[in-house]
Chain A
């Protein structure tokens, strides 16, 4: 509602959305790229989390004792 309700203003009664939008024309390509990157990240995280889940907590504990903990 906050986004739709104040249209056509981006800043209410000060600046119209059409005046605020970027003049750059490659944005759809950029967002598509970003989408692909994030989908790939989801896939990698999913595979790794499943592996950790399958091995159970014991494997993680064993690893933590001989490999330094990562941030």
Chain B
């Protein structure tokens, strides 16, 4: 019972990270694909304007997930780290480079420097979620043995982990485009509203196609996971994701970005919830259940109490931050990036 509760906390943390952190990474994806310095300057300016107030807050959830995982499920954490250290390490390097480049970009004096820092930021925004999700995909596909390290490369380079990584990048881009279309409406920039509306529709269709095509890949490579996703509680989450995804496409099509923000979050979040439900009762499929992986009861109780205390502090502040952001109270001025690179 306690173990299931901790597992639920873990899945909730992962879901929050996939939605909020995913949108953050997705903004970097649009920075990467915005085109040349001149053509992409307005999209890049919007990315920076939207991300500025919230970008650190969104990554609280990664720390949350890691702490819950090693406190509540130490054997699973050890097994995952021993086998999947390559993708997790690459994601870590991506996180370091991304934060540094984003912060330093404002100090660039020449267009060459700005281009380098911008490219580092944008590229690491794609690399980080890809490898994190590939690691999750490897766990879900049962590539991680409970005892002793599995293959450091073959474990996460199969079809299912690669699919998970791609879906993470595309769904993050989808979320970011939906959010930034709304932000552009608020900023009164119709050309950017149109640009992000088109991007949201494109990424939404791509994410849907990947999810449907991906089920075939999962069926071939990880039949147990497929059964979990297409039956019982897992199926409910998958259907919820599909319905919310279609609703988002409709809302974006009719330019109702305020409501689309929430349906898009449900569409992406349900995937992670579905994954957790599909794996249940296993943490490492076929190897280790949540119960077997759980730490002693006193540890779990202590962890749950701290989670409640920590959420009581974090959730109201996050809600306040998002309300201020959505009300436009934190909006910095809009500056295109790249077209205006004067020396100081």
What is the interface residue range for chain B against chain A? 20 to 34
Once the chains bind, are B97 and A37 in contact (CB under 8 Å)? yes
Q: How far is the CA of A22 from the CA of B80 in the complex (A)?
A: 11
- Asked if B322 lies at the interface with its beta carbon under 8 angstroms from chain A, I say no
A16 interfacial by beta-carbon distance below 8 Å: no
Smallest CB separation, B52 vs chain A (Å)? 7
* Residue B89 interfacial (CB < 8 Å): yes
Minimum distance in angstroms from B114 CB to a CB of chain A:
12
A39 contacts B by Cβ under 8 Å: no
CB-based contact A59/B148 at 8 Å: no
Check if B82 sits within 8 Å of A55, measured CB to CB. no
Interface of B: prevailing SS: helix
Chain B contacts for A67, CB-based, 8 A? 106, 335
Is B149 touching A71 in the complex (CB atoms < 8 A)? no
Contact A30 B89 (CB under 8 A): yes
Q: Are A48 and B82 in contact (CB under 8 A)?
A: no
Q: Using Cβ atoms and an 8 Å threshold, which residues of chain B touch A41?
A: 96, 100
- A44 contacts across to B, CB distance below 8 A: 100, 104
Contact B82 A23 (CB under 8 A): yes
Contacts of A30 in B (CB 8 A): 85-86, 89
User: Shortest beta-carbon distance, A69 to chain B, in Å?
Assistant: 8
A70 interfacial by beta-carbon distance below 8 Å: yes
Is A24 a contact of B81 with CB atoms below 8 Å? yes
Closest to A48 in B: B107
A25 adjacent to B152 (CB under 8 Å): yes
Chain A residues near B332: list those with CB within 8 A: 68
Per DSSP, chain A at the interface is helix
Which residue, of A23, A27, A67, has the highest number of chain B Cβ atoms within 10 A? A23
Other-chain residue from B52, B81, B93, B104 in contact with A33 (beta carbon distance below 8 A): B93
Point out the residues of chain A lying under 8 angstroms from B103, CB to CB. Answer: 70-71
**Given A24-B149, A70-B52, do A37 and B96 touch, yes or no (CB 8 Å)?**
yes
CB contacts (< 8 Å) of A24 on chain B: these are: 81-83, 85, 149, 152
With a cutoff of 8 Å between Cβ atoms, the chain A residues found around residue B107 in the complex are: 48, 51-52
Please state if B104 and A48 are interface contacts (CB–CB under 8 Å): yes
Chain B residue with minimal CB distance to A44? B104
Taking CB atoms and an 8 Å cut-off, the chain A residues in 10-64 that contact chain B are 22-27, 30, 33-34, 37-38, 41, 44-45, 48, 51-52, 55, 59, 62-63
28 A-B pairs (CB sep. < 8 Å): A22-B78, A22-B82, A23-B149, A24-B81, A24-B82, A24-B83, A24-B85, A24-B149, A25-B149, A26-B85, A27-B85, A30-B85, A30-B89, A33-B93, A34-B93, A37-B93, A37-B96, A41-B96, A44-B104, A48-B107, A51-B109, A67-B335, A68-B332, A68-B335, A70-B103, A71-B55, A71-B56, A71-B103
Using A25-B152, A44-B104, A51-B107 as known contacts, list a sample of 16 further A-B pairs with CB atoms less than 8 Å apart, ordered by residue number in A.
A22-B78, A24-B149, A25-B149, A26-B152, A30-B86, A30-B89, A33-B89, A33-B93, A37-B97, A38-B96, A63-B344, A67-B335, A68-B335, A71-B52, A71-B55, A71-B103
Q: Show the binding face of A for B, using Cβ within 8 Å.
A: 22-27, 30, 33-34, 37-38, 41, 44-45, 48, 51-52, 55, 59, 62-63, 67-68, 70-71
Using a CB–CB cutoff of 8 Å, the interface residues on chain B facing chain A are 52, 55-56, 78, 81-83, 85-86, 89, 92-93, 96-97, 100, 103-104, 106-107, 109, 148-149, 152, 332-333, 335, 344
